[in-house]
Amino acid sequence: MATTTVLLREDVDHLGARGEIVKVKAGFARNYLLPRKLAVEATPGNVKQIEAERAALLKREARERATAEAQSALMQNLQLTFERKVGEHGLLYGSVTAMHIADALKEKGYEVDRRRVHLPEPIKETGDYTVTVRLHRDVNVEIPVAVRGEGDAQTEGAAEASTTEATTTEATTTESPSSAATSEGGEDASGGAADEASA
């Protein structure tokens, strides 16, 4: 079967990375790679052009990787929370999709194509999840995603506040007996001193 040599202008799954020169089936190159500008054919007549374009692609690749690594560092402590209406057994009315996650990241100042959000299927239940965002071929970041029922966040906050208040009250109550003991001890000491004076 006829093959041809091409320079990849973009990453192509199961084939190669941007800037690589690979051999592919002639039909695949003609019908898919070349029309979509994913590659350019490498021939004896355009060797210099191919080498110049390859050098430019590799520089672009290095810049994009450095940018992705910097962005990954900024996103390390990021966490996303979604509130949705919930039916029985914690099932959502609707779902949380890769597009929702990309939009939430955009609201926080991170422009990420939804196709880079690795979510095998939409989230349809409440719970805690970890979603992988592929910023670059070699740079991924794990984002914790919490999906809650509407009002659960406020309920959790109120419960935490109530627990804190109860702890404070308990601490105050615990201090009272010791204060009373101190008071009683003081009275005994005063009484003892009075008795000694009478004697």
Long-range contacts of 67-72 (CB under 8 A, 24+ apart): 68/135, 68/136, 68/139, 69/136, 69/139, 71/110, 71/135, 71/141, 72/135, 72/139, 72/140, 72/141
CA distance 36 to 13: 14
> pLDDT value at position 194?
42
pLDDT in tens, 89-140: 778 888 899 999 999 999 999 989 999 999 989 999 889 999 999 999 889 9
Of the candidate ranges 62-66, 77-81, 122-126, 162-166, the one whose mean pLDDT is the lowest: 162-166
Environment class of 21 (CB within 10 Å of its CB; exposed 0-12, middle 13-18, buried 19+): middle
Ranges in the chain annotated CATH 3.10.430.100: 80-152
Higher-confidence residue of 167 and 96: namely 96
Ranges in the chain annotated CATH 3.40.5.10: 3-74
> pLDDT value at position 103?
95
Closest CA to 98 of 113, 109, 86: 113
Which 3 state secondary structure label does DSSP give 128? strand
Give the CATH number of domain 3-74: 3.40.5.10
What CATH class does 80-152 carry?
A: alpha beta
pLDDT in tens, 7-66: 998 889 889 888 888 999 999 999 999 999 999 998 888 888 888 888 998 898 899 999
Residue 3 backbone dihedrals phi, psi, to 5 degrees: -125, 165
